[in-house]
Amino acid sequence: MATPDVPAVEPATSGSVVAARDVTRVYGEGETAVHALRGVSVDFPRGQFAAIMGPSGSGKSTLMHILAGLDRPTSGSVTIDGKEIVGLGDVELTKLRRDKVGFVFQFFNLLPILTAAENIELPLSIARRRPDQAWLDELVGAVRLEDRLDHRPDELSGGQQQRVAIARALLPRPAVVFGDEPTGNLDSKTGADVLRLLRRAVDEYGQTIVMVTHDAFAAAEADRVLFLRDGEIVRDERHRMQGTEILDVVKGLE
């Protein structure tokens, strides 16, 4: 197998929405310790749609959770919108996540007792902020939910539920939206629709998106594809890639 193409560590740029420097994450201790991340440095500039790929166990989820402030690194630095998050207390970290980070998960994570409209507005309601009505209307139109707003999640298809989750993630105008296998629970046609919406959020609204995915054809929608292996970034392709090209790289990493 070819030697992995390891990217050089670049200096932090103030334009980065999310940046990691020499991030490590070790689970457990001693002989049974698992080195899930072994010194990851990466910058995500504003308005970029990035995909993180790699074999199972390569550290994708761990990296995403650390970049999003859901988990803490063992060592290293992480900034979101220029603010160092390592070392923040739980209350501050929760507030920063609420203000700066949106999430789109594989299993949608909508609250079953709330309507679509209430789910979309929930992060702002919790923050006691009023939605910008024009922006809310724009998003509801963009995700085609105008006639589903009064429905609860169990009255919606998977694709509709994920569209609710996308509107919920975008409404607070977060610095970054993290996608955790956002198409993983959808059929390919519905998944393609969800990816088109994420793509539009980047192209039309300048949203920064970082998405973990197993799906090469989902990663093919991104502007950049990062490949992890054994807790390290082994390739960083800063351009759109074809799905087949991505599959070839993934095969080479397994």
Q: 63 φ, ψ to 5°?
A: -65, -45
Residue with tokens 């093919």: 220
**Is the four-CA dihedral 95, 83, 179, 93 of positive or negative sign?**
negative
Angle at the Cα of 96 from the Cα atoms of 60 and 166, rounded to 5 degrees: 60
Kindly state the smallest distance separating residue 52's Cβ from ligand ADP, in Å.
8
Kindly state the smallest distance separating residue 61's Cβ from ligand ADP, in Å.
3
Which of 12, 24, 47, 61 binds ligand ADP (CB under 6 A)? It is: 61
CA–CA dist 211, 74 (Å, integer) = 22
CA–CA dist 63, 25 (Å, integer) = 9
According to the binding rule CB under 6 A, does residue 56 interact with ligand ADP? yes
Q: What is the DSSP letter of 26?
A: E
According to the binding rule CB under 6 A, does residue 226 interact with ligand ADP? no
Kindly state the smallest distance separating residue 37's Cβ from ligand ADP, in Å.
8
* Closer to ligand ADP by Cβ: residue 57 or 131: 57
According to the binding rule CB under 6 A, does residue 207 interact with ligand ADP? no
According to the binding rule CB under 6 A, does residue 107 interact with ligand ADP? no
Number of residues that bind ligand ADP (CB under 6 A): 12
Binding region for ligand ADP (CB under 6 A): 27-28, 34, 36, 54, 56-62
